[in-house]
Chains A and B, each alone.
Chain A
Amino acid sequence: MLLSGRRKLRGWGGVAGMAAACMLAVSATALPLHDQADTAAGRDTPLRTQNKQVSATDTSCGQHPEASLTPSTASGPAVDRIKKAGKLVVGVDQNSYRWGYRDAASGDIVGFDIDLVKAIAKDILGDENAVQYKTVPTSKRFEAIRKHQVDMVVRTVTINCQRITEEKVAFSTAYFQAGQQLLVPRQGSTIKDFNNTLNGKKVCTAKTSTGQAKLEEQPHGSHIVLVDNQLDCLVLLQLGEVDAVFTDNALAAGQAAQDPAVHLVGKPATTEYYGVAMNSGDTDLVRRVNQVLENYRSGGTGSQWEQAYRTWLKAVLPGIDGPPAPLYKNG
């Protein structure tokens, strides 16, 4: 019984282990006459799980989740798989204006993210159109990666530790630096920045977004209005039902591009990096994409990155000097 309990604890990892340990510790102190073996196990388990958790954090995440594997053009099983299939299967968004969306006139999917996808396809397969764009719902995008339903997801995915450790996905180096920022009407708005000018205002953000977490942490006296889709916030802003939208400045810029009567104000309240999300087992693919990104960024103002930026984003998200510098892990 004791053995099976321990095995379970190890298998469940940090959270469950800690909870079990706390329970055992409490029972050990509350019941001094408790069986000796149980107390010993209680002492034993938390030490082990804690060590494991720390070591896991040390190796795969930590201060810089955006640090990725070093670039390489060497082929491995994942790159060979893609080459054999003859097409790159990519999970994209069709609804993020300027990033990845269906052009209403041509019906084609276009945007800043899509340009990057094309560059990757061209590098691996020699054809920028050898891409199968898969529409994956936001809630299923990491599952699709884990199950190899897609080779990668390129849809303004923010790199963070939770996604690396719990969702078990690997990220490329950062290809864009974004942050949560406020979008307000150009006329008549008293909101200047993510500060107390928000007092008493209604602020819209998408459910389970980084924006929601940040607003709940520092509401500055605002009332939070939650919607399912970030674009619904623009609808509410246009209808005058909210005073501001708080979302990724990248997405907010896409919203501003659809309505000249609104604009971004203040500075980003957070710092987030977008990366290409891939299966953590496909290390050769991660290195390959990082190599593509190296080339994509190089060339100064004439780089592919700058071209894409000018085409899709500069008008609505001006003042960005260039791509974020890549960060690599040792080894």
Chain B
Amino acid sequence: MKTDKGAGRWGRKIHALPMRIVSICGHTADQEIDPAYAGSVQGGGSVTQTQYSGRPGDGVDVIASATGSDAPRRRPAWAEQPGRLREAATTEPGRLRVIGALLAVLVVAFGAVTAWQITDRAAAADNVVNRSEPLSSRAADIYRSLADADTTAAGGFLAGRQDPADARKRYNDDIRIASRYIAEAAAASEGSDQAKAQIEKLNEQLPVYTGYVERARANNRLGYPVGGAYLRRANTTMTQEILPAAKELYRIETARLGADYADAKALPWAAWGLGVLALGALVWAQRRSYRRTNRVFNQGLVAGSAATAVVLMWLVVGHSLARIQLNDSYVNGARSLQVLNTARIESLQARANENLTLVARGSGASYNDAYRAELQDLAGKGANGKTGLLAQALSMADDAKGRDTVKTAMKAAQAWWALNATARKDDDSGEYQDALARTIGGNLKSGQKAAQYTAQCFDAVDTNLATAVAHEHTAFQRSANDGRGALGGLAAGAALLAVLGAAGAALGIGRRLSEYR
């Protein structure tokens, strides 16, 4: 390791240098600077005129003095600028000044860009957690409550002239929840015209739907088959007007979630690039300084490099960690939540169509087809459990608890499929009562209570999927919060360190510059 000749170690040398340089270049010192300089030389005199209250030998004051050194030979302003540029390009102090300025600018720019890009990403991560995911969940809740209302209405209708109290309560709760969440979504989705259009449609059609359901109930109480026609019309309104709008709203909110994820995960190329550039420039400046002065370390530049390196490391590691966590929350949370929500709605619609097959009393072939399609979407072809949404959810489940709930739901869906086939056979051979008992429970024609009926299977699918949704939601929130946390303090830290780094670089260059005085 090389050290300066006759200068010993750092500290002493740095204090010694300015004195010596001043003694060489003292004659050019400007009058204005003198007191300050004198102050520093005298070591402890009052320093008032310079903006940098210099500790002895820190050199910043000397930058000012060097600039001022041209004053006695001041030329007209038009001639001064090219002169300075020429001087900057040809003389070492000029070059040093340019290098110092560039280094400072680079490091500050690096800090600023880092702070800006990370603030952006942190805001996006914050949106994931606090805005778009809750909105997406709410949209899923709206979708689910509406589908549940339709399913419950059809189920209650099958029970006879008077729909059971629990079915009515569940229907009323569904409609109330849907109405409240639609109002909330309307308040939260200002700015999104697409979402607004869907919310308007929901607001328009929901009262129409409930009107049909009430007419269906009134007619059913009187024993009129037209009640079934109203229920079918209500179902048509639900499946063709309301649910598509709710689905679209869910899609829009989920797309927004995806966009927030993408924003939060976007690589901060500009910050990285500037960081590498700043660090490279600092290394180059130190190398240059070493070549010219044979001194290995320039304290200021080293400090500047260190600060820059820390910011760069922090940036790379912090953001990568955040990306990993966010990715985890997306893969294990948001994405499986989407699959589970879709599965839940699919099971609700399958149930509604199963009920309507019986409501339609013989002309329900299309409802039965829809049921079969939906249950197979859920549990795979012929409910084999190998494909479909539940299989997908199973492959996405990230722990034993998640897998177990989905597995239970899958078993229930398969039992549902088998039991429905029996009920269908009953209905097709004229045993409506048996078919009904195997669908909603109650007495078989033989007088015995149906031991198993598809309502149990549906409930098992629904409750297990609800548990799975809650479970995945917790997993999502944990990962997303961790991801957001990984970015915490990075923006402010980068800004502060960059300012320090820039100051260090400037000081380091200033130290060199002062040698020319």
**Interface residues in chain A, defined as those with a beta carbon under 8 Å from any beta carbon in chain B:** 92-97, 101-105, 107, 109, 131-138, 229, 231-232, 234-235, 238, 255, 258-259
Contacts and interface: CB of A to CB of B under 8 A. Distances in A.
Nearest to B233: A235
B220 interface: yes
B110 interface: no
Given A102-B361, A132-B429, A137-B362, A107 B226 contact: no
Contacts of B436: 107
Contacts of A93: 362
Interface residue range, chain B: 20 to 34
Please provide the 6 A-B residue pairs with the shortest distance between their CB atoms, ordered closest to farther: A135-B362, A94-B361, A133-B430, A258-B224, A104-B223, A231-B229
Nearest to A155: B362
Contacts of B427: 135
Given A135-B428, A258-B224, A105 B161 contact: yes
A95 B225 contact: yes
Interface in B219-256: 219-220, 222-230, 232-233
A103 to B, nearest CB: 7
A94 B431 CA distance: 12
Interface string B424-441: 000111101100100000
B207 interface: no
B361 A105 contact: no
A231 B225 contact: yes
Nearest to A131: B430
Contact of A95 (B215, B219, B222, B361): B361
Nearest to B443: A107
A104 to B, nearest CB: 4
Given A104-B161, A255-B226, A258-B225, A134 B363 contact: no
A137 B233 CA distance: 19
Given A109-B432, A133-B430, A238-B226, 18 more contacts: A95-B225, A95-B228, A95-B360, A102-B361, A104-B160, A107-B432, A107-B436, A132-B430, A136-B362, A137-B362, A137-B365, A229-B229, A229-B232, A231-B228, A234-B226, A235-B233, A258-B225, A258-B226
Given A137-B363, A137-B365, A258-B219, A94 B432 contact: yes
B160 A232 contact: no
5 contacts: A104-B227, A137-B362, A229-B229, A235-B226, A259-B226
Contacts of B160: 104-105, 107
A132 to B, nearest CB: 5
A25 B260 CA distance: 73
A270 B220 CA distance: 32
Q: Which of A92, A101, A135, A234 has the most CB of B within 10 A?
A: A135
Given A93-B362, A107-B432, A232 B219 contact: no
Contacts of B225: 95-97, 101-102, 231, 258
Given A102-B432, A135-B427, A229 B226 contact: no
Contacts of A107: 160, 432-433, 436
Interface of chain A, main secondary structure:
mixed
A138 B361 CA distance: 12
Contacts of B228: 95, 231
Contacts of B226: 97, 231, 234-235, 238, 255, 258-259
Nearest to A228: B363
Interface of B: 160-161, 215, 219-220, 222-230, 232-233, 360-363, 365, 427-430, 432-433, 436
Given A104-B160, A107-B436, A232 B229 contact: yes
A95 B363 contact: yes
A101 B433 CA distance: 14
Contacts of B232: 229, 232
A232 B230 CA distance: 8
Q: Which of A92, A95, A133 has the most CB of B within 10 A?
A: A95
Nearest to B236: A232
Contact of B430 (A95, A134, A259): A134
Nearest to A138: B363
Contacts of A238: 215, 226
B304 to A, nearest CB: 79
A235 B230 CA distance: 7
Nearest to B223: A104
Nearest to B442: A107
Given A105-B161, A135-B430, A258-B224, A234 B229 contact: yes
B229 A103 contact: no
A92 B429 CA distance: 11
A229 B161 CA distance: 22
A137 B365 CA distance: 7
Contacts of A95: 225, 228, 360-363
A103 B229 CA distance: 15
Contacts of B430: 131-135
Contact of A232 (B233, B361, B362, B432): B233
Contacts of B161: 104-105
A133 B219 CA distance: 25
Contacts of A231: 225-226, 228-229
Given A97-B224, A105-B161, A134 B229 contact: no
A103 B432 contact: no
A225 to B, nearest CB: 14
B291 to A, nearest CB: 91
Nearest to B361: A94
Contacts of B220: 104
A133 B427 CA distance: 9
B126 to A, nearest CB: 49
